Amino acid sequence: MCPGVPLWFAIGYFSGAIPFGYLVVKWKRGIDIRSAGSGNIGATNVYRILGIKWGIITFILDALKGFAPLFAAKFYLPAPQIYIVALSPFVGHCYTLFLKGKGGKGVATSAGILLAIAPLSFVASLIIWLLVVLIFKVSSIGALSAAVFLPVFTHLIYHHKQLTVFVTLLALWVIVRHSDNIKRLKKGEEETKKIE
């Protein structure tokens, strides 16, 4: 393993750990986002509390904290090691030490990671997400659909085994993080007309 991997993993983790959703809502409304809406710190809940403008801003910020460290690390680490580091922003977002290990579901941060290491897969998954959200009006169905198709897109576009394995693990992790949403979907209780 390259000696720089632990350093870049730490950089990625701390980048991902910045709880932008929490900070934005605290700044704009003076409340703890974890006690409002769904209680999640992600862009969807920011949208519920502050509206579409701040939801989009939060999504972009959460995506950037996944994109930036990976984009920089690509200049220093070879392909096998970059996939280890690529998990770090996602881990940071989902298990941020700044909020005692309780973070978001990782959709936006995963999007930023994909944009850095598999941009065509990112575009394909984004299209699926948009189409599903427009049809069903449920953001979690869009996120889950994009996650399901992501490994397929990556395999067909890049034909790269290591990359496909990585995005498969990332997609599965996103799905696991949406376990509560899946339970609500089965019961027909998932909130509609919300954009993640």
- Between CA 182 and CA 46 the distance in angstroms is 20
| SS3 of residue 194 by DSSP | strand
Q: Does residue 50 fall inside a structural domain? A: yes
Is 126 exposed, middle or buried (CB count within 10 Å of its CB: 0-12, 13-18, 19+)? middle
Whether 196 maps to a domain, the answer reads no
194 in a structural domain: no
Q: How many other C-beta atoms can be found within 10 angstroms of the C-beta atom of residue 56?
A: 14
Has residue 144 been placed in a domain? yes
Expressed as residue numbers, the domain containing 183 is: 5-187
In a domain, 195, yes or no: no
Output the CA torsion sign for 180, 48, 110, 65.
negative
| pLDDT per position as a tens digit, 85-101 | 999 999 999 999 999 99
d(CA 79, CA 81): 6
Residue 83 C-beta-side C-alpha neighbours within 13 Å: 14
Residue 174 within any structural domain of the chain: yes
Q: Is residue 101 part of a domain?
A: yes
pLDDT tens, residue by residue, 111-152: 999 999 999 999 999 999 999 989 988 888 999 999 999 999
Which 8-state DSSP code applies to residue 75? T
